[in-house]
């Protein structure tokens, strides 16, 4: 078990996404900061590493695993899935959540001034996420798919304008960190999306949507940071 303490959080979640629930229970970031080892996390957050690993093993060894094994997917399929599932989710939900937050600010802002900060944070995140996804869809993802096709056809890979795939990946990961930090602040301001005693139905729905949005974002970032990006770097190295 000792050697597994040097395995990264992201590697466990890539192996079986059900382990994400364990890390979330311990308030361990498995997506933006999934490159940390069990030892690193436990030392920093004062968690018993043996207990944490046992909880992870319990999940890994349990039956009825209906979790999709994204780690086994070809990269071009994974790219399509991320776009059609997570990018589309962000596009569809952002406007709806903004409408609810604006309404909350007008109705409950006087008694809950934190709503204005929540609205400000989500609005900024919505704008940056939109630009972020376009950069992936127009620059990074097409190159990853081109690498897959080039390998399949055993042909020569042409040099991208950005030099190496590691360059846009570094940018995307930094932007993931920014969004992760933004949502940590939103979670704190909402007391982990807990509706206050005087909260109406709109309040409950808005917080529930924010909670769901953050959970989707965590899975979205996990698929990229812990699976797609590392494998894209390895694939590019094969051409060298």
pLDDT for residue 33: 87
Task: Give the residues across from 37 on adjacent strands.
Answer: 8
d(CA 75, CA 240): 19
Q: Determine the Cα angle at 138 with ends 135 and 143, to 5°.
A: 105
If we measure between CA atoms, which residue out of 30, 31, 224 comes closest to residue 141? 224
Q: pTM for this one?
A: 0.88
Q: How far apart are CA 182 and CA 123, in angstroms?
A: 11
Q: Which residues of the chain have pLDDT under 50?
A: none
Q: Is the Cβ–Cβ distance between 125 and 179 less than 8 Å? A: yes
List, in order, residues 6 or more apart from 206 with CB less than 8 Å away: 97, 100, 101, 103, 104
State how far the Cα of 57 lies from the Cα of 219, in Å rounded to an integer.
Answer: 20
């Amino acid at each position: 078990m000792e050697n597994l303490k040097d395995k990264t959080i992201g590697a466990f979640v890539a192996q079986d996404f059900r382990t994400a629930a364990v890390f979330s229970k311990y308030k361990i970031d498995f997506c933006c900061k999934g490159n940390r080892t069990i030892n690193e996390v436990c030392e920093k957050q004062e968690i018993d590493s043996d207990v944490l690993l046992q909880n992870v093993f319990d999940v890994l060894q349990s039956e009825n695993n209906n979790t999709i094994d994204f780690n086994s997917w070809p990269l071009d399929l994974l790219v399509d899935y991320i776009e059609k599932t997570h990018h589309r989710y962000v596009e569809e939900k952002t406007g709806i959540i903004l409408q609810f937050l604006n309404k909350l600010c007008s109705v409950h802002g006087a008694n809950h001034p934190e709503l204005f900060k929540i609205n400000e944070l989500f609005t900024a995140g919505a704008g940056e996420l939109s630009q972020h996804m376009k950069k992936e869809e127009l620059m990074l993802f097409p190159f990853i798919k081109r690498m897959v096709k080039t390998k399949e056809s055993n042909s020569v890979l042409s040099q991208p304008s950005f030099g190496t795939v590691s360059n846009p990946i570094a940018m995307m990961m930094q932007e993931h960190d920014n969004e992760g930090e933004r949502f940590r602040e939103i979670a704190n301001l909402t007391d982990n999306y807990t509706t206050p005693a005087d909260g109406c139905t709109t309040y409950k729905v808005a917080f529930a949507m924010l909670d769901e949005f953050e959970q989707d974002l965590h899975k979205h970032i996990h698929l990229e940071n812990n699976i797609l990006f590392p494998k894209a770097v390895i694939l590019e190295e094969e051409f060298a």
